[in-house]
Structure 1
């Protein structure tokens, strides 16, 4: 489903643990790391799409999380020209997203990256709050920063941590925890 402006409706998920750290996962067979996200179906609300994507990409069900907040309206990013499929109609030039902040209320053992037939991620880790804004692919960076800026005051209140302002994108960024492999025996 692509809107008249060429944007695909999508949801993004910022998953928070009790320490104020965020779930960060690596795309299968790629070097790219990102938050869970995915397209909305034409018959879904953003909340319904978020729960579906959450389960498909992390194995978490609604009882494993608490919805803390969502961004208002759409946050948009354009795809680089090399990713635009000009031969498809309608042509998708980017994504428009509603972002959700979720708090993990279950044990992290509930996370299963192999919960669906075609897993999106192969490993994951917890990272400092501003880490994703500095390390996501460039074309998604502005949307990540906007979503995290929106959620930062809520996270500070929930987790009783001080996050400060978004850090500059430099090598001095915090180092994430060791990766965890997503494959668990069924």
Structure 2
């Protein structure tokens, strides 16, 4: 008989939010970088997202944003500039079936600081396999109004807030 995996029940109220940054990378045409996650939190078809990741202990959110950009896209700091920021921390909670399992089981969800960055490079400067812990299997440029439909449902509220805050930046030509 196969061994059954037992899932522990964790009260999300007892867990903290993981501090994180997110990056909306905007190209010259006003399109947004998204990557298709290799190891998505849920197994559904919505596995696209913008670059994001944890803030290391003692790390400034802006520094973390450039580090995460480099790790997930291969884009060097010299090829991007911060042009906007959502000033408040945005939070999402994991769905109940993922609490205690996703995010190493240590967090109830994430609190994120979001930055808009203008991409100053060329598509050839993007290398999603640049880091040893590759996050994305493929990437694409998409229109900002498509973002909320690409993300897992439990992150949709954050994406709607980001879209509302950063849409004017996609209209600026450079």
The two structures have a TM-score, normalised by structure 1, of 0.78
Which residue of the partner structure matches residue 159 of structure 1? 173
Say if 2:74 is the partner of 1:59. yes
* Contact 1:6–1:90 (CA under 8 A) maintained in structure 2: no
Structure 2 gaps, min length 5:
1-13
Say if 2:107 is the partner of 1:92. yes
Which residue of the partner structure matches residue 56 of structure 2? 41
Distance (whole Å) between structure 1 residues aligned to residue 117 and residue 104 of structure 2: 34
Q: Which has the higher helix share?
A: 2
Distance (whole Å) between structure 2 residues aligned to residue 8 and residue 44 of structure 1: 14
Which residue of the partner structure matches residue 134 of structure 1? 149
Q: Which portions of structure 1, spanning 4 or more consecutive aligned residues, are displaced by more than 2 angstroms?
A: 88-91
Distance (whole Å) between structure 2 residues aligned to residue 43 and residue 127 of structure 1: 34
Which residue of the partner structure matches residue 124 of structure 1? 139
Q: In the TM superposition, what is the alpha-carbon distance from 1:91 to its structure 2 partner?
A: 4.0
Which residue of the partner structure matches residue 50 of structure 1? 65
How many residue pairs get matched?
Answer: 155
Aligned Cα RMSD in Å? 2.1
- Deviations 1:25-74, CA, capped at 9 Å, x for gaps: 10115541111100111110100110110010000111011111111020
Q: In the TM superposition, what is the alpha-carbon distance from 1:155 to its structure 2 partner?
A: 2.2
If asked which structure has higher relative contact order (CA below 8 Å, sep 6+), I would say 2
Structure 1 gaps, min length 5:
161-186
The two structures have a TM-score, normalised by structure 2, of 0.83
* Contact 1:60–1:112 (CA under 8 A) maintained in structure 2: yes
Q: In the TM superposition, what is the alpha-carbon distance from 1:133 to its structure 2 partner?
A: 1.1
